Amino acid sequence: MTDPVQAESIPPSAPLLLFDSGVGGLSVLARVRAALPQAPVIYVADNAGLPYGTKTEAQIAARVSGLLGRLTERLHPRLVCIACNTASTIALASVREVLEVPIVGTVPAIKPAAAMTRSGVIGLLGTEATIRQGYVDRLEAEFARGKTLLRHGAPELVAAAEARLRGERVDPAVFARATDALRRQPGGEAIDTVVLACTHFPLIEAELAAAFGPGVAFIDGSEGIARRIAHLTQGQAFARIHADTALFTRLDDTIAPLGPILMSYGLDEAGGV
């Protein structure tokens, strides 16, 4: 693990850089705000590359590494958080090779889910790219031995979260399909814990809970990410001299409707990368 960076070497105004394919990383930002309310933040959404889950591993690794390389040169963050399970499970190692700032990734919360489950059957909802990664296999082998982990790639849920944050109505059938896809798998009727292995999905947890019905608990990795960021920035000074900002890799007509929700997360300005 990376040791905390020497506090005296970090300008107080240096921001935390949170990166995601879209607005999903706002679920991580909420936890980071709670842990470090004084920290300046720049949130970057690669909406021009959305969705990541349908891309190849090579495409994701190249895109994320290139973007974060350019962003760190321009923005000089004190730390980069890849607030995206898909990008982290595929590109985290390559990003760490090219960047000289601390990098915090996002991993599916299989370990805490294994501790939570009473039935021994865990559902995992992620993107198609995330659920097929060997990294997820290794987490299952290490932390969920003796449990049953049922996976489903649910790209519809990414679009649903994006739409919901823009204030659009989402068909409840979207959530029912994701639920049914897990429940129909062998043993799926016993699922009592669901890992939300995409940062978009906590934003629609209420809808997923309604679709699953009572007796199902949800877990994601945002709390652990916030703790890790707080540890790595321990002792550092923070000074917010500019408004916290959301940057997008494509400026189009989907950005303006996000204005109120971005401001509710403390992102008072928005612009293009």
**Could you tell me the pTM of the whole model?**
0.92
- For the chain, 273 residues long, give each residue's pLDDT as a single digit of tens: 345 556 668 899 999 999 999 999 999 999 999 999 999 999 999 999 988 988 899 999 999 999 999 999 999 999 999 999 999 999 999 999 889 999 999 989 999 999 999 999 999 999 999 999 999 999 999 999 999 999 999 999 999 999 999 999 999 999 999 999 999 999 999 999 999 999 999 999 999 999 999 999 999 999 999 999 999 999 999 999 999 999 999 999 999 999 999 999 999 999 999
The question of whether 84 is a catalytic residue gets the answer yes
Give the active site residue among 44, 50, 84, 195. 84
Spatial separation of the C-alpha atoms in residues 163 and 219, rounded to whole Å? 22
Give the active site residue among 41, 198, 267, 270. 198
Q: In the block, which residue shows the tokens 């008072």? A: 268
Per domain, the residue ranges of the chain are 7-106+223-272, 110-220
Residue 61, pLDDT score: 94
Task: Please determine whether the domains at 7-106+223-272 and 110-220 fall in the same fold group of CATH.
Answer: yes
Can you list the alpha helix ranges (DSSP code H) found in the chain? 26-35, 57-75, 85-98, 110-116, 128-131, 134-143, 155-165, 173-183, 205-212, 222-232, 259-264
The question of whether 81 is a catalytic residue gets the answer no
Q: Which SS3 state, helix, strand or coil, does residue 151 take?
A: strand
Q: Which two tokens stand for residue 153?
A: 């790639």
CATH topology of domain 7-106+223-272: Rossmann fold (3.40.50)
Look up the CATH number of domain 110-220: 3.40.50.1860
